[in-house]
Amino acid sequence: MTEPNDPLSLQKRYGAGNYDPLPVTLVRGEGAYVWDDRGRRYLDMMSAYSALSHGHRHPRLLAALNDQLGRITLTSRAFDNDRLGPFLARACTLTGMDKALPMNTGVEAVETALKAARKWAYRHKGIPPDRAEIIACQGNFHGRTIAVLGLSSEESYRRGFGPFPAGMETIPYGDAGALEQAITPATAAFLVEPIQGEGGIIVPPEGYLRACADICRRHRVLLLADEIQTGLGRTGRLLAVEHEEVHPDGLMLGKALGGGLLPVSLFLARRELMDVFAPGDHGSTFGGNPLAAAVGLAALDVLVEEDLSTRAARLGAEFLARLRTLAPPLVHEIRGRGLFVGIELAPGPVSAREVCLALLKEGILAKDTHENVIRLAPPLIVAEDDLLRAADTVSRVLVRVATVVHSSHARTG
């Protein structure tokens, strides 16, 4: 028998089964829209987990990519290149950080931050060797490496992958008092997402980040902000910590930093923290490559020059207001900030994935998380009319699903 050779059959035959994607095959993208292999158009309300904040194939980013492709793409850090310096300088100037260390993926930036925090703790805080502790929050998502999974409270992420490194502790999210109680003389750092994305778009109480920053300062504990999803304009400010005027000791950026074209990430920090690294302490073959640096610099320039943060704040407020006006009883809560929105369904027979499948039929791409939350995070360049039409469509689908469920219960009751 001849083996099927269509793309999806080949993927299923030869790919690992670690994803369960929605049933659509995307082949083209432009701006806030994508097209499937049958020519149908969809509004992308997912943005590849915020990696496509600039939209698909932004012309300025493509130009930067193509220009650099014609020059040089990779040198490794064994040699200098002329693109990395301007990229790092732009990132540090925008964020108010002293130095930056380039990596590729978001979790690499997190791992880099944890390494820096532990070495800082031994060198500057006097914590005994191999005793430094990291605190994170329950419900977090900082990535899927073995070390970072040691900070996860999600059993499905951890199951079968232990044992995990020691020195990792989690506390309730949004509770500054829990942080105060958890800190010990061996605590090196507190790692936190300003808004928990994978956890269900969980927005902490007003003043939480500011209180945590004060606690960390009093106890000489590093505050590390994971802004891989929330950073670069997504919540209506360049960084989500800016909503509370917090300046962390260390900062992680990724996803949108690569403009949806390349994996690009940064760990940025104040000088004392970053200076723990000496030659040979840390590295990456592709981290800081000239192609990634050129695209990353262009991504930052576009973000600022097109004022995408302000745009996200304005459109996000309109989008949330529209959704809240039209939400049916099926919805327990609608929350978010900027263009980072979660719709939590009330407990019952309808799952968020079922709603996302219904939205797919209406030409909207969205993704579920934690079974009962629909997350919506469109490109920051999305047109206002498209966004408000999407809100109407989401509300209409929720009403329809709720009606079907109610009718089903009535027939079987």
Based on the fold, state whether residues 237 and 333 are members of the same structural domain: no
Q: Last residue of some domain: 305, 335, 355?
A: 305
Same domain? For 391 and 337 the reply is yes
Residue 77 placed within a domain: yes
Assigned domain for 225 exists: yes
Mean pLDDT, residues 295-310: 98
Shared-domain flag, residues 182 and 277: yes
- Looking at the structure, tell me whether residues 188 and 71 fall in a common domain: yes
What average pLDDT does range 256-285 have in this prediction? Answer: 97
Instruction: Tell me what the mean pLDDT of segment 17-36 comes to.
Output: 96
- Tell me how far apart the alpha carbons of residues 46 and 52 are, in angstroms, rounded to a whole number: 8
Instruction: Check if 141 is active-site.
Output: yes
With bands split at pLDDT 50, 70 and 90, how would you rate the model's confidence at 408? Answer: low
The CA-based angle 50-114-295, given to 5 degrees, is 40
End residue of a domain, out of 270, 305, 340 = 305
111: in domain: yes
**In a domain? residue 229:** yes
Is pLDDT of 141 > 80? yes
- The first and second tokens of residue 214, run together, are 């004060």
Alpha helices in 192-289, H assignment, sequence order: 208-219, 271-274
Same domain? 334 vs 257: no
Residue 154 is assigned to a structural domain of this protein: yes
For residues 300 and 382, state if they share a domain. Answer: no
Q: How far apart are the C-alpha atoms of 197 and 316, rounded to whole Å? A: 16
Amino acid at 236: G
Choose the catalytic residue: 44, 175, 190, 226: 226
255 is catalytic: yes
Q: Is residue 198 part of a domain?
A: yes
The number of distinct structural domains making up the chain is: 2
CA 212 to chain centre: 21
pLDDT for 1: 52
Residues 27 and 132 in one domain: no
Q: What one-character-per-residue DSSP string does 147-213 give?
A: HHHTT---HHHHTTS----SSEEEE-TT-HHHHHHH--TTEEEEEE-SSBTTTTSBPPPTTHHHHHH
> Do residues 271 and 234 share a domain?
yes
Q: Residue 372: which domain range?
A: 7-57+313-412
Are 148 and 46 found together in one domain? no
Q: Which residues contact 218 (CB under 8 A, 6 or more apart)?
A: none
Res 401: pLDDT? 87
Instruction: Give the domain-ending residue among 257, 276, 305.
Output: 305
What confidence tens digit (pLDDT) does each residue in 305-316 have?
A: 999 999 999 999
135 with 72, same domain: the answer is yes
- How far apart, in whole angstroms, are the C-alpha atoms of residue 267 and residue 103? 8
What pLDDT is stored for residue 370 in this prediction? 87
Are 298 and 168 part of one and the same domain?
yes
Give yes or no: 267 in active site: no
Mean pLDDT, range 285-302, rounded to an integer: 98
Residue 403 is predicted with a pLDDT of 77
Catalytic position from the list 141, 267, 319, 340: 141
We report the CATH number of the domain holding residue 327 as 3.90.1150.10
Whether 394 maps to a domain, the answer reads yes
What single-letter DSSP state applies at residue 101?
E
Q: What is the pLDDT of residue 328?
A: 76
pLDDT band at 223; cut points 50, 70, 90: very high
Q: Which of 87, 255, 319, 340 is catalytic?
A: 255
Q: What is the CATH number of the domain that holds 64?
A: 3.40.640.10
- Would residue 2 count as lying in a domain? no
Q: What is the pLDDT of residue 2?
A: 62
Higher pLDDT among residues 400 and 2, named by residue: 400
149 and 297 belong to one structural domain = yes
